[in-house]
Structure 1
Amino acid sequence: MIAEAVAFLREELSRYVLVNQRPESPLRREDILLGNVAALETDTQNSLKNKVLISLVNLEEESTLKNGKSYIKNPLTNGIEYLQPPVYLNLYLLFSATLPDSAANDDYDRALHRLGLIIQFFQSKKLFTIKNSPQSPFAASEDEVLKDELRLLPELYTLTFEQINHLWGSLGGKQVPFAMYKVRLIKIQGRITTEAPLIEEIQKKSEELVAPKIAQSTRKPNADEDN
């Protein structure tokens, strides 16, 4: 689901940028791509330069949704099955407007314009689902689970100067115009289930407790008790 979610956002962003970009700084659909921004400095083929690059730099579990139910009802057998609750993830996506090798002032200006389009795109649409994105290629998918469960809420994530320094230092490259977004929520759940056995122990304990009371209530009183 992680790959599908990021690819879905890429498709939506590509369509927006192609319509709203400047004629003098055109981007093709293939110029907005998923890739590791850490490989930018060793990109001898210029496949990542002068592009919009989307990189996953971190993810975290949404702790407020950890305690879900661990069982489901099987509609075929009408029995109960154990199923581990899903994991909900927040993705931290780095959107970088990369520069060409010999970047001039005009190149930097174009990169800033592209960065502005990215922020404008996410400002104009707060919730992303396949159902509210009918032009997306994902809308033609036959995967009903993907259509129902893909629900993304991006929000601009502001870094401190110290965090920016650590981020680009760990990526091993020179800083380029960028914006980071925290994208909620990616649902991941395996479909491995185990059949839940019948609960017999509680029934047994109940019988042990109830049986003496039944026997006592049906026992005839003796003469001493009458007196």
Structure 2
Amino acid sequence: MKNSLIQNPKEGSFERTIICKSVFFMIQIAMEYLSAEVRHELGLNEEDISIEALQSLQENDIQGINITLLYVEQENTLKNLPHSRVLNDRVFYQVPPFSINLQLVLSFHFEQYVTSIQYLSETANFFHKKRWFSAENQRAGQPFPSALGRLVVDFQNIGLEQLNHIWSISGGVHHPALFYKVRLLRLEQDEAIEGPAIESVEINDEKQVIFSGSEEMKKYLKDNQENGT
């Protein structure tokens, strides 16, 4: 793979001995895994698919399939999931998993325009048949990264005005492209606070939330409520 985000990745494998927690490494792992899946499905060589900024397509005249990260957004639907667990009759409260969405563009630039259209069609068909990736449906020889929970790939419709704005970044040259939202990258937080189970939650006349339990636990829950988690 040209210009891999991770320096010297293990050939043929994205399994990490250390579970990466940061957003930066989660994005790296996800993009490189999807890149390898597309390359395998289309039967391409490693140099035929790259991860680059849109500007590089014009400046360096990069040919092949290029994957670009447009932006990252938080997945808000999981913010209200339970974030406590019981272990040996002890209650632990943990920051809920932080899930993000990656907005990706896959651009196709081969010497023959018809070749670009062919690979675009095959890629679209691949993600239509296989919309999600996890350890449950990993292919032989390509284990799903243990740092990720699941990747769900959704096709995105892009309006003409937004499309023109995106391609203006690359110097105004349009290439056949597919736009996808990759959902639910679960970033687990290690830090947890032990405390008694919360038996009641009350709201007083001043509309203040009152929790039963230790002072430390009250502060933890109140801070998370104020932060919207």
Same-fold status (TM-score > 0.5): yes
CA displacement 1:121-141 (0-9 Å, x = unmatched) = 1122222223212324225x6
Cα gap change, 1:82 to 1:178, in 2 (>3 Å) = same
Instruction: Give secondary structure in 1 for the equivalent of 2:131.
Output: coil
2 CA distance for matches of 1:35 and 1:61? 23
Higher strand share: 2
Structure 2-normalised TM-score?
A: 0.67
Letter in structure 1 aligned against 2:136: K
1 CA distance for matches of 2:41 and 2:77? 33
1:11 touches 1:136 (CA, 8 Å); kept in 2? no
2 CA distance for matches of 1:42 and 1:13? 24
Letter in structure 2 aligned against 1:13: V
Letter in structure 1 aligned against 2:104: L
Instruction: Give secondary structure in 2 for the equivalent of 1:41.
Output: helix
| C-alpha deviation, 1:161, in angstroms | 0.2
Instruction: Give secondary structure in 2 for the equivalent of 1:93.
Output: strand
| C-alpha deviation, 1:69, in angstroms | 2.1
2:42 is matched with which residue: 17, 28, 33? Answer: 17
2:57 touches 2:170 (CA, 8 Å); kept in 1? no
Stretches (4+) displaced over 4 A: none
Q: Is 1:127 matched with 2:140?
A: no
How many pairs align? Answer: 177
Q: Which residue of 1 aligns with 2:50?
A: 33
Q: Which residue of 2 aligns with 1:158?
A: 157
Tell me, which stretches of 5 or more residues in structure 1 are unaligned?
A: 19-26, 204-227
Cα gap change, 1:74 to 1:7, in 2 (>3 Å) = farther
Instruction: Give secondary structure in 2 for the equivalent of 1:137.
Output: coil
Letter in structure 2 aligned against 1:33: S
1:80 is matched with which residue: 83, 91, 95? Answer: 91
| C-alpha deviation, 1:176, in angstroms | 0.9
Letter in structure 1 aligned against 2:81: G
Cα gap change, 1:37 to 1:28, in 2 (>3 Å) = same
Cα RMSD of the aligned pairs, angstroms, is 2.6
Letter in structure 1 aligned against 2:80: N
Structure 1-normalised TM-score?
A: 0.68
Higher helix share: 1
